[in-house]
Each structure stands twice: as C-alpha cells, then as structure tokens.
Amino acid sequence: MLRLDGSELPRDVTWYSCGPTVYDAAHLGHARTYVTFDTLRTVMERYFGLRVTHAMNLTDIDDKIISRSHESGESPAALAERCAADFFEDMASLGCKHPDKVLRVTELMDVIIAYIQRIHDRGYTYSTTDGLYFDLRRFVQDGHSYGKFRPIDAVPDAGFALWKLAKGSEPRWQSPWGAGRPGWHIECTALASHAFGDSIDVHAGGQDLCFPHHENELAQAIAAGVDAPWVKHWVHAGHLSIAGHKMSKSLKNFISVKEALREFTPRQLRLAFALHPWQQPMSWGTRMTEARARERTIVSFLDKALSVPALDPGPDLAAEERLAAALVKAKANVRECLQDGLDVSSALEHVFVLIREGNARTTSAANGSSALAATASYVVSVLWAMGLDFRCLGVDKVFYNGVRDEALRLRDLGVDVKTLFRLCDEARHRA
C-alpha cells in the first residue's frame, strides 16, 4: 500500500491543488508543478489502483488580473477566460489529466463569503478601511499554532486580507463587509472544503506556496473550527530555475509551455521532470539533454527487445535466468521506492538498471528470450504507470515491419519502392 509521511492513503483519495492565477501564458515553472502532480496522481491510480478525485481552483479575479487588464484594455473577465482556456490547453498538451472539478473563484463567491463568515463568527477578523482581515495576532494568542511551514519567532503584528473592498471601477461582489473581492488565501480554504468537506487527503502546490499561502490556508481552517487535521498530506513540488534564477518575465528568462513544446516532446518534458526528485529544486537545461539521452536508451532497448522472438529461450539458459532474476529484483525495488513517499526518480533509476541487464541479454538472445519479452513488457507498463507512455512502440513496430515486408515483396516483383524504403528508414530513426 502507498504511504505518504509514514501514513497509509485510503483507496479513495481526495486531492486539492492550488491552481493558477490566470493572467498570462503558462510557463515551464507551471509545467513542472502540474506535470509533477499529474505524475504522482498517475502512480496512485495506475500503480496502486487508488481512485483519486482531483479538484483545482482557478484564481480568475485578483490584483494581477486587474492590473494586467488595465494595461491591455481587455476586461478582467475576458482576460481570465482566455488565459484559463490557454492554461488547460497547455496542460492537456503535456498529457496532464483535466481536474475532476475546476473551482472558479468568480462562480463560487457565495461559498467563499460563507467561509469568511465562519471565521468572522468565531472572532478571528478585524476591519480596516481596505476590507476585512484575518486576525493573526489573536489566533496565535489563543494558542493556535502558526509556523508549520516556516517557524516564526514572534507574534505576527499584522493579519492578511480575507475580503478586499473594491476601489474605483474594480470588479466587485456584494458581501456583509461591503462590495469587493476575496483575498487569495481564503479562496483555497473555502473551495477545497467546498469540494471535500473539512478533511482532505492531499493538498498540493508549488514549493513557493508553503509560506505564507499554505500556512494561512491552514490557519483559516483552524479559525473556522476544523478539528481534525484539515489536510492529511501536503505535497509541494520543487521549483524550476533557469541558470539559478526563478523564471520571471522581468528577468527575461520566461519560457512558455508552448515555446518548450516546439523544442521538446511532451514525453521528453515529463521524463526530465520524473528523473529529478520531485520535492527538490531543479535547474532547466542539463536535465533536458539527459532526458533526451534517457529516452533514446528506453526506445533503443524496446526496439531491440521487441524484435527478438518471445517464446524460445534459446541455448543460453544462464543468461536467461540472470535476466529473470534482475526483473524480479527491479520490480521489488520499484515497489519499495514508490510505496513510501512516491519516490518516482529513484524508481526510474531501477528501471534503467533493468534496461542495462536487458540490453546485455539482447546480444545473446537472437533465437528468442522469454525473460527479455517479460522485461520489455514490464518496462513499458511501469513507465506507463509513471505517466510515461512508450506503449505505441510495439504497435509502431508491428506496423513498420508490415510495411517493410510488403515493400520487400513489391521490390521482388520489380516495383520501384525506393520512396517506401526511405520513409521506413525515417520512421525507424524517429522512433
């Protein structure tokens, strides 16, 4: 069974992810975060057979959206709508499953206002001329813990906004505290609880959301009176940096998902992220060169292994038994890595150890190898369980061989099939 932070996950998993603020194109930092979540969810579902329900919020009203809409002349609603559609298109291009529930802030204003009311009724708010704030000082003085994600050494002297009063022509919704819009932190506490009630199995976000966002989300849930741990497991995906810097427009190192997909396939990007420990910071660049090389290693192994007959073990029984034993060992190692904390990158290394053993067997297995067929089949299935799809290779191979055999037959009949052979060669090199 799968354990996170030492405790077992149930068969039906509720998973909430902090979604994007939609005011610009999705960049590679988003790609790493959401591909990581998709990979972990895929392992839960395909490897452990868990049923995951994934909810994600969409921040479709916020300061950044308002200021970008002032610059562009587009209305905040139109800007958010366009960027949201673009975000989900990019995520689909990366092979990420669409969330089971997408929770848009502007569509669930009542839910958010009701949650603020819950906190307000318990006395953890104060008002200013700007709006309604969370009373962090009182929260800490009442003995509630604050500082799970980053220890604090003093009682905070300021709170954070729960409800911001609208200024000028800013978009606004009516509330008991005046017309305005919600603060950012309250969205997630209210919407995650709306989706799953007062206890959630997994709450995910990028590493930069630990503090203060997740700290404040948690404080709000406690202030609203949630008894049990509000979130059982926090999942934080590591940062992606470029040459040591966080990706940002101002540093001119912003690579959009669309730009990256012109240079790399979705599978290469997914592999690059999967090869790196998902909680750790990752630097863009070196991993991509490595991912391409690793992909070639997988493809070339499967290519060789799938061209060997599967049934006749051939004369080299010792080599056959060596590979069969390596396969048993790899399966156990992969399970051990995944079942305790979803260590996908270490599990992948065991798959590559197995591929090396498999490659050694291909040199002596011209007559056939049952262990090699089993190894290739395991490699394809375990990579698929990690969200890395190499399944089409076998089908391509059958198709390719069929076309090549037909071309050979036609050539023997005197037909000019040079073009067909050239296309076959191209297809072979692409694979």
Angle between helices 266-275 and 344-362 (to 10 degrees): 110
- Reference 56, options 201, 205, 199, 197; nearest CA is 205
Question: For residue 214, what are the CA distances in angstroms to 40, 199, 220, 343, 411?
Answer: 20, 15, 10, 23, 67
Give least dist CB 203 to Zn ion, A: 8
Interface stretch with Zn ion, choices 15-23, 63-71, 218-226, 266-274 (CB under 5 A): 15-23
CB-nearer residue toward Zn ion: 18 or 200? 18
Give least dist CB 217 to Zn ion, A: 6
Please pick, from the candidates 18, 103, 116, 393, the single residue that binds Zn ion as defined by CB under 5 A.
18
CB-nearer residue toward Zn ion: 186 or 272? 186
Rounded Cα distance between 336 and 129, Å, is 56
Please pick, from the candidates 116, 188, 306, 417, the single residue that binds Zn ion as defined by CB under 5 A.
188
CB-nearer residue toward Zn ion: 18 or 222? 18
Q: Does 96 bind Zn ion (CB under 5 A)?
A: no
Instruction: Compute how many residues bind Zn ion; rule: CB under 5 A.
Output: 2
Rounded Cα distance between 317 and 315, Å, is 6
CB-nearer residue toward Zn ion: 48 or 146? 146
Question: For residue 357, what are the CA distances in angstroms to 190, 247, 349, 351, 375?
Answer: 51, 39, 13, 10, 9
- Residue 186: helix, strand or coil by DSSP? helix
Q: Is 314 left (phi over 0), alpha (psi -120 to 50) or beta?
A: left
Give least dist CB 188 to Zn ion, A: 3
CB-nearer residue toward Zn ion: 50 or 209? 209
CB 225 within 8 A of CB 142: no
Q: Which strand (E) or helix (H) includes residue 378?
A: helix 370-385
Give least dist CB 207 to Zn ion, A: 13
- Reference 361, options 340, 342, 375, 347; nearest CA is 375
Give least dist CB 425 to Zn ion, A: 51
Give least dist CB 225 to Zn ion, A: 20
Give the x/- contact pattern for Zn ion in 131-170, rule: CB under 5 A: ----------------------------------------
Q: How many residues does the chain have?
A: 431
CB-nearer residue toward Zn ion: 18 or 226? 18
Interface stretch with Zn ion, choices 17-25, 162-170, 315-323, 393-401 (CB under 5 A): 17-25
Tokens standing for residue 295: 């992909």
CB-nearer residue toward Zn ion: 125 or 216? 216
Rounded Cα distance between 418 and 420, Å, is 5
CB-nearer residue toward Zn ion: 18 or 386? 18
CB-nearer residue toward Zn ion: 18 or 235? 18
Give least dist CB 195 to Zn ion, A: 12
Give least dist CB 213 to Zn ion, A: 5
Q: Is the peptide bond before 156 cis (omega within 30 degrees of 0)?
A: no
Interface stretch with Zn ion, choices 18-26, 311-319, 328-336, 378-386 (CB under 5 A): 18-26
CB-nearer residue toward Zn ion: 209 or 242? 209
Rounded Cα distance between 370 and 360, Å, is 14
Tokens standing for residue 356: 């090396």
Give least dist CB 209 to Zn ion, A: 6
Q: How many CA atoms lie within 13 A of 404 on its CB side?
A: 12
Binding interface with Zn ion (CB under 5 A)? 18, 188
